[in-house]
Each structure stands twice: as C-alpha cells, then as structure tokens.
Amino acid sequence: MTNLKIGLCGTGNVGSAFIESILSSESLINQNYGLNISISLIGARKGKVAGVSDISVITDIQEVSKSDDVDVVVELIGGVEDAYELAISALKNKKHFVTANKALIAAHSKELFELAKENKVHIGFEASVAGGIPIIRTIRDGLISNQINSFAGILNGTSNFIFSKMADEKFSFDAALTLAQKEGFAEPDPSFDISGQDAAQKTSILATLSFFQNSSMENVYFEGIDKISPDDIDYGKQLNFVLKPLSVGIQNKDQITLGSFPAFVKTDSLLASIQNENNAVLVNAENVGGTMYSGPGAGAKPTANSVLSDVIDIARGKIFDYGKFVEQNLSSSFDNFSCDRYLKLQVNDKPGVVAKISTLLANNNLSIDNLIQKELERSDDQIPLVIVLSNSDETTIQETIKELEALDEVSGPLTHIRILDI
C-alpha cells in the first residue's frame, strides 16, 4: 500500500472542491489502485475550513511546505508572489508540488522545472490549462513520438460562455458576464479573463510543451473580448461564421507565433460546436495529423479533478522531468501571422465612400472577399460597412486599419476580427 500525505494550501472554490474530491474518492482510489491518499495538513489564512474537523489547519501557508507530515504540496491560493514562494520552499524541501496556477507556471516554468529536477521531485500543473481536459498529459505522453507543428483552441471557459450566450440567447456582453459570475465560471474580478491575459498564459504553457520552448507571456500577442458587440456576432452569422475566443501556437522552423484573441471560425468547424464554459484544443502533429480534445474548461470541480489526477500520478511513482521542455529559446513574432479579416466601419452614407475605401485596400494589396452594407441603425448619417478581406499579415492589416480610421468618411475606431480556417 502506497501512502501519500497532502498539504493543501488554499480553500476557495477549487480548494473546497479538491477536499470534496479527496473525501469522496478516497476508498475508490484505494480499492482500484492500492493508494492511500489523504490530506494531512491545510493552510488557510482564516484558520477555519468548513466541513473539515479531523484535519489540522494552520494560518501560515508557507509552513505547509516545511512539514514532515506532508509529501506533496497542493497550491490553490492563486496569485503569483505567494504561490512562487510556496513552490520554491516545497521543492527545496523535497516535496512534490501540484498547482492549478497558470500565472505561476507561465512566469516561472524554467526555474521551477529545474528545481524539481535537482531535488528529484515532481511538479504537476495539469489543471493550469483547459480545466478538465488532460491536455498537458496528452502532449507530454500521448503525442511523445510526434513533432507538434501547431495548436489552436478555446482555452478560456469564461470568454466562450459569454460569446455563447451573446450568440444563442441574445445576451448583451454585460449580461452574459454577470451570468458567468453567478454560475461560478468567472471571478468577481473578471479582468484576467476579459483582457485575454488568462488565455495568453495558457497559450504560453502549451507552447512550452508543444515546441520545447522556454516561452513566456512576452512571446504571446493577446487581445481582450470586451470590444465585441452583438452586431459583430450577427454579421458573423450572415457570413456563416461563429465567434470564439481562440488561442494559437505555430512553429515554423526556428520561429514560433503565439496569440490569443477573438476570432471567427466557419460554422462547420469542430471548434464552432464548443459551447458555454467548455474548452477544446486542436493539435496538429507530424504522425497523427489533427486531433481534438474537448471538455469543461471552467468550474471548480473539473479543475479539482485535474489537480487530483496529478496527485495520483505522484502516488503511482510517475516523476516527470520537464527540464527538456525549456531548453530552446526560439524567436517569436506575431507580425507575419496571416489569415482572413473581418472589418466593421461606421461610414458616411454618401456616394463614392465604398469606392474610396476599396481603392485604399487595393493600394495595400488587400483583396475584398465579401462586403455588407446594411442599415441596422442610422446615426448622424452613418451606416455600418462590413468587409471581409482575404489572407493578409498582421503588419499590413494594422497599417491599413490606421489609414482607414484616418479617413474623413470613417467615424471612430473600426472593429477588426481575425477569421481562422481551422
């Protein structure tokens, strides 16, 4: 019988779900795998944990990593500074370390991986990306014989939930966000989700594992989702597109391209069917081609399940060296990323405006695939003009957007959404 004692730090939504998972599955894990996994110590700043009476609770979270009665430290406190201090202490004290903290891994993966190797302990972070989907394990183990060329996916359940409600139930952005918070898919402060930073951190982690790249947030271009309007989603439907919060990673020889942003996909795309808080990742690998992995991406229970799976791996003796994944320092640029483009402009309702805009686009070697000029709401003789452009790179489109916005016939900033054929 293998015994493993857990020191749990953090008893918020995920921490509470983890406690529940341990208590409810303890006998099943024992019966099926011969493992005796238990929580021996809890670090909680408030000093009390609801529903727990026979487990020691201390208020100094950092002391959990030093306890002789702890084999693995599970970090669910969030943030970076305290979590980083805890991780360093745990690894130096030869404790295995498991976390759901994508910000921590994105910022300090190289140092933590090397420290884990030095002290011959395991670091688990399955829950840091895509919630209940075992995507870390899939890339690490399932695709071990493949060179991964690219990945694309929905990595933020909150954003996908918001877009789904806006598209299917005609919610406003604010109403969809409020519901996401009520359902527990978004934090009271949703800024990390809305800004795109959460997805960018996860993109960085997937890039590290997929491309053996010492990646960081600095390598990832990202945009938020708060500029998207219901009109954009409706126009997308007319064009047979579905709006999704997408993350992409591409390796081309010695350069990687990483980004997280709202994007249209075709209605028959596999990713178009991923609704609400669910996540999905498409991986393009050398030998197997394209494979897709989907499941719940937000919520306490799926996250806690992924944390527990890392703990079980440790109990079964699966100690993995992640050091090789941070050996390369490939160059990174988003400037050459190419795809079709959706542009929405507010323009003067006058003859010759469309022709002038078309000429500007042609002068920049941009080709119009589709154009919609339709009066949805007239305001001061302004009407919306929607243009779909065929394949163009980031440098060209960004320069073109500046030129379009400078025209007297165009009012205010335009909306730009990438269109991906995946």
pLDDT over 60 at 377, yes or no: no
Angstrom CA distances, 356 to 309, 344, 362, 371, stand at 59, 16, 10, 14
pLDDT over 70 at 373, yes or no: yes
Q: Of the candidates 94, 111, 128, which is a domain's last residue?
A: 128
Q: Of the candidates 79, 98, 128, which is a domain's last residue?
A: 128
35 with 98, same domain: the answer is yes
8 A C-beta contact, residue 259 and residue 222: yes
Q: Of the candidates 128, 149, 166, which is a domain's last residue?
A: 128
Asked if residue 287 is part of any domain, the answer here is yes
Q: 102-142: per-residue pLDDT in tens?
A: 999 999 999 999 999 999 999 999 999 998 899 999 999 99
pLDDT over 70 at 380, yes or no: no
Q: Which residues, at least 6 apart from 326, have a Cβ–Cβ distance to it below 8 Å?
A: 109, 110, 113, 114, 208, 212, 213, 214
228 with 197, same domain: the answer is yes
Q: What is the mean pLDDT of residues 350-359?
A: 94
Per-residue confidence at 4, pLDDT binned at 50, 70, 90? Answer: very high
pLDDT of residue 349: 87
Provide the residue range defining the domain that includes 35: 2-128
Asked if residue 193 is part of any domain, the answer here is yes
pLDDT over 60 at 376, yes or no: no
How is residue 113 written in tokens?
Answer: 């991986």
Nearest residue to 199 via CA among 214, 220, 227, 182 = 220
Total tally of structural domains belonging to the chain: 3
Q: 255-282: per-residue pLDDT in tens?
A: 999 999 999 999 999 999 999 999 999 9
DSSP state of 33: H
Calculate the dihedral angle through the C-alpha atoms of 353, 364, 411, 386, rounding to the nearest 10 degrees: 70
Question: The pTM is what?
Answer: 0.93
Per-residue confidence at 375, pLDDT binned at 50, 70, 90? Answer: low
Active site residues: 202
346 with 250, same domain: the answer is no
Asked if residue 318 is part of any domain, the answer here is no
Give the H/E segment covering residue 286: none
Asked if residue 321 is part of any domain, the answer here is no
59 with 141, same domain: the answer is no
pLDDT of residue 298: 75
Asked if residue 306 is part of any domain, the answer here is no
Per-residue confidence at 221, pLDDT binned at 50, 70, 90? Answer: very high
Asked if residue 301 is part of any domain, the answer here is no
Q: Looking at residue 387, which CATH number applies to its domain?
A: 3.30.70.260
Asked if residue 144 is part of any domain, the answer here is yes
Greater model confidence, 407 or 188:
407
Asked if residue 227 is part of any domain, the answer here is yes
170 with 290, same domain: the answer is yes
32 with 158, same domain: the answer is no
Q: What is the mean pLDDT of residues 397-402?
A: 98
Q: Looking at residue 256, which CATH number applies to its domain?
A: 3.30.360.10
Angle at the Cα of 398 from the Cα atoms of 330 and 405, rounded to 5 degrees? 165
pLDDT of residue 246: 98
95 vs 73: CA distance, rounded Å: 7
Angle at the Cα of 277 from the Cα atoms of 275 and 282, rounded to 5 degrees? 65
pLDDT of residue 419: 98
pLDDT over 60 at 379, yes or no: no
pLDDT of residue 188: 82
145 with 167, same domain: the answer is yes
Q: Which of 59-68, 174-183, 374-383 has the lowest mean pLDDT?
A: 374-383
Q: What percent of the chain has pLDDT over 70?
A: 98
Angstrom CA distances, 367 to 8, 238, 376, 384, 389, stand at 56, 20, 25, 19, 6
Nearest residue to 102 via CA among 20, 205, 30 = 205
pLDDT of residue 355: 95
113 with 31, same domain: the answer is yes
pLDDT of residue 213: 84
Q: 13-50: per-residue pLDDT in tens?
A: 899 999 999 989 888 898 888 999 999 999 998 877 87
Characterize the bridge pairing of strands 72-75 and 96-99: parallel
pLDDT of residue 269: 96
pLDDT of residue 263: 98
Greater model confidence, 379 or 47:
47
pLDDT of residue 1: 57
